[in-house]
Structure 1
Amino acid sequence: MSLLMAHASAKADELAEIQARGQLKCAVYSDVPPFSAPDPTTRQLVGMDVDLCAALAKQMGLPVELVPTSVEARIAIIATGRADVLIANLAYTKTRGNQIQFSDPYYVAKEMLVVKKVNEDKTRADFKGKRISATKGSTSEQSIYLAGAKALTFQDTASAFLALEQNKAVGFVTNTMTGIKLISQAKKDGVELAMIKEPMALEPIGVGMKKDEPALLAQVNAGLKAMEDQGTIDAIWNKWIGPGTEYHMVREEKVQPLSSLKFEPLE
């Protein structure tokens, strides 16, 4: 009998457990601004993902407990049950999709190609077979292979970016936010760079949860849809990374099922 009870407990509905506990444990970065990082004055975590956690918990009628994590540990923190949900700028990939389940994406990040200004009107196809730099082991590197180009990889972003500036590569791939900041910095140094319009790859960003928890998934998706309809996600976006911030990011896609997006998932 005890074995049957243990099995039933192991298969318990996580949403019911969260509601019984009366608190949503939401994993966020420990120090990755503007998503989640300590406020210099209060030392409390603040950022876009922190606000999204609070808004989602509110939709679920629960207080939120933030669980700090790192980029490396963010999947494990969900898989091991140390947090209920993960909001940490998490992009859907095939590997991650096998490890945890994803909510409907609330925005779509893009891997973008940064080039010398003279090449900004070229298309992704124009760089087939060309040497493009990226950080080693990143989704940026994966997107280079998707485009049929040759990857020149480095251990850090600064080195990969320098390869473009020094003409060791014809382009450098990174996310839109980083690309905008680096282009701005280069301009101050007298180097004119730009991003081509066509993304190298699309990365839907969603909330991560443990697999095989349909009730929790449905509740999170319903919460995100309500946050979308109420303008909450737009307000949080604009506060932290919107056009009026240093990141100048425009939110183009709304909350929608992952299946409705036309994209080639990265590994």
Structure 2
Amino acid sequence: MRLKYGSCALVLPLFLAMTSAKADALSDIKSRGELKCAVYSDVPPFSSPDPKTRQLAGMDVDLCGALARQMGVKLQLMPTSVEARIAVIATGRADVLIANLAYTKTRGNQIQFSDPYYVAKEMLLVKEANANKTLADFKHKRISATKGTTSEQSIVLKGGKPVTFQDAASAFLALEQNKAVGFVTNTMTGMKMISQAKKDGINLAMIKEPMALEPIGIGMKRDEPQLLASVNSSLKAMDDNGTIDKIWNSWIGPDTEYKMVREERVQPLSSLKFEPLE
């Protein structure tokens, strides 16, 4: 009995020491003095190599830098692909992911999201003659989108008939060639495509009502409440002092080719009224 008691007496302090030594993600970031921020390796205007400096530049790169400064640490950018962006967070290779990341049910089960700093919208592009119609007018109609995207999901959500293609250019061409009555994409891409089509003599318009809402936030590993709280408070401070607006206007704002107006402020995801996509 004495031997068993002695063994427990030795093991218990060791177990407690190991438990206390396991720091949370925020403590790790603070102790190393560096934030590992994953961004796209080549998706302009969010993050792509600058032609002159060959360094990554873009809206998400600037947001990473601003977040690191707000948290009082240095920045380490970690380039990643669209396909690997969730895995780089779920496996802990990066601390945060800023990659125009929209909240969906599936992603919400894989990683945790910060409060959104803007809300992207899936929008329906149509020929100018249909500009004054509502989404209800396109129910059961053929609408094109890129295969496997949230754009495709939104067509189903609104009762349309998806006609999908491997890339956005082909889906957009289906609208131009009247193989579909509409084409779904996010607002930013849609604005750019409408402008490009006009140069080719094709007048398109965007239906005012969104097909779906997609809150854009910062991704982090699940079960890291301290990091989540720090990122959320940092985002709120960056919103209040105009940092996010400045970065937004520089890359996708009204005076850029994307002509995007930032309408929503940083707010809890739970405060938004939207139907999450899968």
TM-score bracket, normalised by the shorter chain, equals over 0.9
Distance in structure 1 (CA, Å) of the matches to 2:167 and 2:20 = 47
Whether 1:158 and 2:158 are equivalent positions in the alignment is no
Q: Which has the larger radius of gyration?
A: 2
SS in 2 for 1:190: coil
Whether 1:19 and 2:30 are equivalent positions in the alignment is yes
Match of 1:60 among 71, 93, 109: 71
- Runs of 5+ unmatched residues, structure 1: none
TM-score w.r.t. length of structure 1: 0.97
Distance in structure 1 (CA, Å) of the matches to 2:141 and 2:77 = 44
Whether 1:180 and 2:176 are equivalent positions in the alignment is no
Q: CA deviation at 1:5?
A: 5.5
Residue 243 of structure 2: aligned partner: 232
**Alignment identity in percent?**
79
Whether 1:265 and 2:264 are equivalent positions in the alignment is no
Q: CA deviation at 1:123?
A: 1.1
Match of 2:138 among 127, 133, 139: 127
Residue 122 of structure 2: aligned partner: 111
- Runs of 5+ unmatched residues, structure 2: 1-10
2:86 counterpart letter in structure 1: I
Distance in structure 1 (CA, Å) of the matches to 2:18 and 2:107 = 28
Q: Deviations over 1:44-98 (max 9, x none)?
A: 1111001000101111000110000011000000011110000000000000000
Aligned-residue RMSD, C-alpha: 1.2
Match of 1:75 among 72, 86, 90: 86
SS in 1 for 2:183: strand
Match of 1:86 among 86, 91, 97: 97
Whether 1:221 and 2:258 are equivalent positions in the alignment is no
Distance in structure 2 (CA, Å) of the matches to 1:159 and 1:187 = 17
Residue 33 of structure 1: aligned partner: 44
Distance in structure 2 (CA, Å) of the matches to 1:8 and 1:76 = 27
TM-score w.r.t. length of structure 2: 0.93
Distance in structure 2 (CA, Å) of the matches to 1:143 and 1:6 = 48
Count of aligned pairs between the two proteins: 266
1:260 counterpart letter in structure 2: S
Whether 1:142 and 2:186 are equivalent positions in the alignment is no
Distance in structure 1 (CA, Å) of the matches to 2:186 and 2:110 = 23
Distance in structure 1 (CA, Å) of the matches to 2:132 and 2:225 = 45
SS in 2 for 1:227: helix
Whether 1:170 and 2:174 are equivalent positions in the alignment is no
SS in 1 for 2:39: strand
SS in 2 for 1:198: coil
1:158 counterpart letter in structure 2: A
2:27 counterpart letter in structure 1: A
Q: CA deviation at 1:6?
A: 5.3
Q: Which runs of 4+ in 1 moved over 6 A?
A: none
Distance in structure 2 (CA, Å) of the matches to 1:185 and 1:236 = 25
Distance in structure 2 (CA, Å) of the matches to 1:99 and 1:5 = 30
